[in-house]
Chain A
Amino acid sequence: MKRRTFLMGTGATVTAALMGGRVALAQRKPDELVWADNLPGSLDPHALSDVPMQGYMINVYDTLYVNQDNPPKLVPWLATGHTVSDDGLTVTFKLHNGVKFHDGSPLTSADVVWTFQRLLDVKKGPASAFLAVLDPNGITAPDPTTVVFKLKQPYAPFPAATPLVAILNRRAIEPNVKDNDWGQGWLASNSAGSGSYILDPSTYQPVQQIDLKRNHDHFMGWSHNKSPIEIVRRRNILETTTRVNALIKGDVDCTDSYLPPDQVDRVLASKTATVSKDQSMRVMVLRMNNKKAPFDNLNFRRAVSHAFNYKGFIDGVLKGFAVRNAGPIPVNLWGSPKDLPSYDFNLDTAKEFLAKAKAEGAPVDREIEIHIQQHLAQTTQAAQILQQGLRKIGVNLRIVANLWPQMVSATAKADTTPDMWVHWVSSYFIDPENWIGQMYDSQFHGTWKASCWYKNEKVDALLREARRLDDQSKRQALYEEASRLVVADAVDIWIYNAIELRGLSNRLRGFRFTPIGSGADFRSMSLTS
């Protein structure tokens, strides 16, 4: 090859590359949204129950009830309403007529029954909210628009938990069942729903991308939105810096809703994007293993609670993008007492409690461990803040890097649960049961939510009574009393209720935040040119 030919070829290639970069932006259509948030590990809505799954499920599937707005309201969706029998054991839902799945087949009560039976038999993800109270034979469909659930015991949070369960099209799934797997293999890469958006399975790459197109025939119609989004391209960008840069550059229309506070100013300074700041229901907790010494000593737990610099963490690390949450229930949810006393950062008080604990024989001199989630920087920062405080009162805290699945399996037994660990309790369903009920009722020992291994018979009784009653005002009083007791016992360290920070493109309209799904409901959204 002659040198001139080589140089011309190289020049042409580089020019093509540079042109390519510019043409790329021009490919975007005005009614096409690029949503750069995390994707669930599987597309089967009965396999997982986590925040990314909620963001997928609320668009592709419908549920009996949904949560809307913030603070969230439980609104009938596929159901027109429900009734509960006097003994609290029978819950009856009436369904809308004329609802159709994406393949055009009708959605009837028989599909709801089959869906719940599948959920209870598969026993994964959202099933755990129902397994204790629901038997597969206890679900019946007396007519095409009525579903009756016979509960094993009264369970007031039942309607609030129904948004966890995506109603499936059994006619789409049954031909794909292999080895009695309820179609799990097939549904992991496909969809069988009736939701506002339809999955294009050919675009699916696990945890990387999916494309959705609008379901023009959705039973709720589209009259609320004059220019709905036709195509949603969901892309998962792993690296935060790239995600933020892509938003500022206009490559994507959003970031995830956990934008690091130090990136907020960058996004706001851009001319292309803004940041939506919404108080969520996501409580950050430093867990303490109440069965392990010295955490089995109340005064030691109180000393640790006073050694955390709450204000420093919220104002310094989080730049004020959080609300102090003194107890286990999010402060913006009923059941959280307005007058709940909070632990403050006070090293003198901490020293006093530590001295009392030592006098009572607690082994306060041993090194204690806190396990953090190594890919979530905020858990490390919280542990470091605590480490600083504890060092000043003479307690040695070691920070151990770990991952979520390992920690969850470690919490199955008291002796394998770490001294302390850091996590959030997100809103899987909106009821105090999701927080205080499952965190501090000793019947849940062995689950990660109850990994403090706290046992107080009075608290158990209050929470079980609250679970049984249907009257919300009575339940509220019980949850408030239980909250005061667990806070007085310094069971864990409750730090804040999250303000979710989601970078949004300036061309996006109609973003409606709800803690469930973190505002990723595309039904209300539109795009300006």
Chain B
Amino acid sequence: MTRFVLHRLLLTIPALFGLLVLTFIMLRVLPNDPSAALAGENATPAQIAAVRKAYGFDEPLWKQFVIYAGQVGSGDLGNSIISNRPVVRDIAERLPATIELTFVSLLFAACVGIPLGTMAAVWYNSLFDHVVRVVTVAGLAIASFWFAIILQMVFSMELDWLPLRGRFPVGLPPPMHLTGLYLIDSLLTLRFDLFGQAFGHILMPAFTMSLAGLASIARFTRAGVLETMQKEFVHYAEAAGYTRRRIIWVYMLRNSVVGATTQIGLLFGGLISSAVAVESIFDWPGVGSYAVSAILTSDYKAVLAVTLVVGLIYSIVNILVDVVHAWLDPRVAEKL
């Protein structure tokens, strides 16, 4: 297993390099030069050229890439062209917010999606199954942008149950920084009042982000359980007199969620990309809203850094999924 994990970690290096090359080319082949904007509203062509030279935008593209790749190789993702701050610092400040939102969404999607899919399979072709199918199709089809606004209008504006926006109330000091994840930090410091605040703020954005994942997990689980139900060990367990609850939730489920588990790994990348829209609507201070601002201002170093960091997280999560996969199915572990 250790050899497998190390092997996979090594493979992420060329994958991330490929990602860097692709993103760099996509960003820089466009006439995407922020020099004119930086030089001021009535800068002359000579002044703009001076700014371009200062930032190295006048160099050939390949040379710009070699310089940038060298910086990245030495662990320096550079400074934001607009804010002049190290982009690593900006991302490090915002990444915990995105990770917390993504994990809560994923947790929510799995905790609701797996039981929903299981029950839909157990009650195959019943009214419940039909309702789950409609709900899951709708979950995949609904635009998160629209759904987020509906949630805000109902639960915040009309019912006044949940906060409208943000990660924490304005003016209230957040929990002591331990992990940067407010839910965890508030629990570790036994500040249950702050946990309530953080939990209230994360509910709507996490639910919005989880919707598509929930639908996908429910459908995969349903298909997996339906297949497992036909297996001989299930009939044997029934004949041996095990309770139906035990057969479904202990024996069948473990053999059915392998596909759904793989799906969770794939979903992680999708969730982070959907964070761009959800974070903007809920004013969530994560890397998604940072990426939006960076794109609008052509701050290409910030965009590249966000892409790399998200790529790295995506790779790590997929390795973790493989490990869980092996834990769920010992036959997979033997092949690793």
Q: Note all chain A residues with C-beta closer than 8 A to B84.
A: 42, 44, 47, 184-185, 188
Indicate with 1 or 0, residue by residue over B181-193, a CB within 8 angstroms of chain A CB atoms: 0000000000011
Stretch at the interface among B67-75, B250-258, B285-293: B285-293
List 12 additional contacts besides A17-B200, A129-B40; criterion CB under 8 Å. A21-B200, A41-B83, A125-B38, A126-B40, A189-B83, A189-B85, A238-B292, A242-B165, A245-B152, A405-B37, A409-B36, A412-B48
Q: Note all chain A residues with C-beta closer than 8 A to B36.
A: 405, 408-409, 411-412, 447-448
Interface residues on A, range: 35 or more
B12 at the binding interface (Cβ < 8 Å) = no
- Give the distance to chain B from A427, nearest Cβ to Cβ, in Å: 11
Indicate with 1 or 0, residue by residue over B171-204, a CB within 8 angstroms of chain A CB atoms: 1100000000000000000001101111111010
B100 at the binding interface (Cβ < 8 Å) = no
Q: Note all chain B residues with C-beta closer than 8 A to A359.
A: none
- Give the distance to chain A from B302, nearest Cβ to Cβ, in Å: 9
Whole-angstrom distance between the alpha carbons of A12 and B225 in the complex? 32
CB pair A206 B83 closer than 8 Å: yes
CB pair A242 B152 closer than 8 Å: yes
Q: Contacting B164 at CB < 8 Å: which of A34, A129, A251?
A: A251
Chain A CB count within 10 A is highest, among B32, B39, B292, for B39
The 28 listed contacts between A and B (C-beta, < 8 Å) are A15-B196, A20-B196, A20-B197, A20-B199, A20-B201, A21-B156, A21-B200, A23-B197, A25-B169, A44-B84, A47-B38, A124-B38, A128-B39, A128-B47, A209-B285, A237-B165, A238-B283, A238-B292, A239-B281, A242-B281, A249-B157, A251-B170, A403-B296, A404-B37, A404-B296, A411-B36, A444-B42, A447-B42
B160 at the binding interface (Cβ < 8 Å) = yes
Chain A CB count within 10 A is highest, among B82, B152, B299, for B82
Size of interface on B: residues with Cβ below 8 Å to A: 69
B149 at the binding interface (Cβ < 8 Å) = yes
- Give the distance to chain B from A418, nearest Cβ to Cβ, in Å: 11
Indicate with 1 or 0, residue by residue over B148-166, a CB within 8 angstroms of chain A CB atoms: 0100110011001111111
Q: Note all chain B residues with C-beta closer than 8 A to A412.
A: 36, 45, 48
Indicate with 1 or 0, residue by residue over A395-420, a CB within 8 angstroms of chain B CB atoms: 00000000111101111100010000
Indicate with 1 or 0, residue by residue over A234-264, a CB within 8 angstroms of chain B CB atoms: 0101110110011011011000000000000
Q: Note all chain B residues with C-beta closer than 8 A to A43.
A: 83
Q: Note all chain A residues with C-beta closer than 8 A to B152.
A: 241-242, 245
Q: Note all chain A residues with C-beta closer than 8 A to B94.
A: 205, 208
Indicate with 1 or 0, residue by residue over A9-24, a CB within 8 angstroms of chain B CB atoms: 0000101111111111
Task: Output the nearest chain B residue to A131 by Cβ-Cβ distance.
Answer: B47
Q: Note all chain A residues with C-beta closer than 8 A to B160.
A: 21-22
B274 at the binding interface (Cβ < 8 Å) = no
Given that A128-B40, A208-B285, A447-B42 are known contacts, is A20 also in contact with B90, CB under 8 Å in the complex? no
A509 at the binding interface (Cβ < 8 Å) = no
Indicate with 1 or 0, residue by residue over B79-113, a CB within 8 angstroms of chain A CB atoms: 11011110000100110000000000000000000
Q: Note all chain A residues with C-beta closer than 8 A to B162.
A: 17-18, 21
CB contacts under 8 Å to B, within A434-467, are 438, 444-449
CB pair B42 A129 closer than 8 Å: yes
A338 at the binding interface (Cβ < 8 Å) = no
CB pair B297 A206 closer than 8 Å: no
CB pair A241 B281 closer than 8 Å: yes
Q: Note all chain B residues with C-beta closer than 8 A to A188.
A: 83-85
Q: Contacting A28 at CB < 8 Å: which of B30, B170, B282, B295?
A: B170
Residues of B within 8 A of A (CB): 30-45, 47-48, 50-51, 79-80, 82-85, 90, 93-94, 149, 152-153, 156-157, 160-166, 169-172, 192-193, 195-201, 203, 280-283, 285, 289-290, 292-293, 295-299
Task: Output the nearest chain B residue to A188 by Cβ-Cβ distance.
Answer: B84
A428 at the binding interface (Cβ < 8 Å) = yes
Indicate with 1 or 0, residue by residue over A477-510, a CB within 8 angstroms of chain B CB atoms: 0000000000000000000000000000000000
CB pair B170 A27 closer than 8 Å: yes
Q: Note all chain B residues with C-beta closer than 8 A to A246.
A: 164-165, 283
A111 at the binding interface (Cβ < 8 Å) = no
Q: Which 4 pairs across A and B sit closest by C-beta, in order of nearness?
A: A16-B196, A128-B40, A20-B200, A446-B45
CB pair B164 A32 closer than 8 Å: no
Whole-angstrom distance between the alpha carbons of A406 and B30 in the complex? 8
Given that A24-B197, A241-B149, A406-B31 are known contacts, is A123 also in contact with B172, CB under 8 Å in the complex? no
CB pair A17 B203 closer than 8 Å: yes
Residues of A within 8 A of B (CB): 13, 15-25, 27-29, 32, 34, 41-44, 47-50, 123-129, 131-132, 184-185, 188-189, 205-209, 231, 233, 235, 237-239, 241-242, 245-246, 248-249, 251-252, 375, 403-406, 408-412, 416, 428, 438, 444-449
Task: Output the nearest chain A residue to B298 by Cβ-Cβ distance.
Answer: A405
CB pair A239 B280 closer than 8 Å: yes
Q: Note all chain A residues with C-beta closer than 8 A to B39.
A: 123-125, 128
Whole-angstrom distance between the alpha carbons of A87 and B280 in the complex? 54
Whole-angstrom distance between the alpha carbons of A241 and B165 in the complex? 11
Q: Contacting A242 at CB < 8 Å: which of B41, B192, B198, B283?
A: B283
Whole-angstrom distance between the alpha carbons of A375 and B170 in the complex? 27
Q: Note all chain B residues with C-beta closer than 8 A to A50.
A: 41
Q: Note all chain B residues with C-beta closer than 8 A to A126.
A: 40
Q: Note all chain B residues with C-beta closer than 8 A to A129.
A: 40, 42
CB pair B31 A410 closer than 8 Å: yes
Whole-angstrom distance between the alpha carbons of A408 and B48 in the complex? 10
CB pair A409 B31 closer than 8 Å: yes
Given that A205-B94, A249-B164, A406-B298 are known contacts, is A24 also in contact with B169, CB under 8 Å in the complex? yes
Given that A242-B164, A403-B298, A408-B36 are known contacts, is A13 also in contact with B85, CB under 8 Å in the complex? no
Q: Note all chain B residues with C-beta closer than 8 A to A209.
A: 285
- Give the distance to chain B from A125, nearest Cβ to Cβ, in Å: 5
Whole-angstrom distance between the alpha carbons of A444 and B47 in the complex? 11
- Give the distance to chain A from B65, nearest Cβ to Cβ, in Å: 19
CB pair A238 B289 closer than 8 Å: yes
Q: Note all chain B residues with C-beta closer than 8 A to A15.
A: 196
- Give the distance to chain A from B210, nearest Cβ to Cβ, in Å: 16
Given that A185-B84, A189-B85 are known contacts, is A237 also in contact with B283, CB under 8 Å in the complex? yes
Task: Output the nearest chain B residue to A249 by Cβ-Cβ distance.
Answer: B164
CB pair B83 A42 closer than 8 Å: yes
CB pair A449 B42 closer than 8 Å: yes
CB pair A206 B197 closer than 8 Å: no
CB pair A245 B157 closer than 8 Å: yes
Q: Contacting A406 at CB < 8 Å: which of B32, B43, B165?
A: B32
CB pair B172 A27 closer than 8 Å: yes
Q: Note all chain B residues with C-beta closer than 8 A to A408.
A: 36-37
Whole-angstrom distance between the alpha carbons of A44 and B199 in the complex? 36
CB pair B281 A24 closer than 8 Å: no
CB pair A235 B31 closer than 8 Å: no
Q: Note all chain A residues with C-beta closer than 8 A to B299.
A: 41
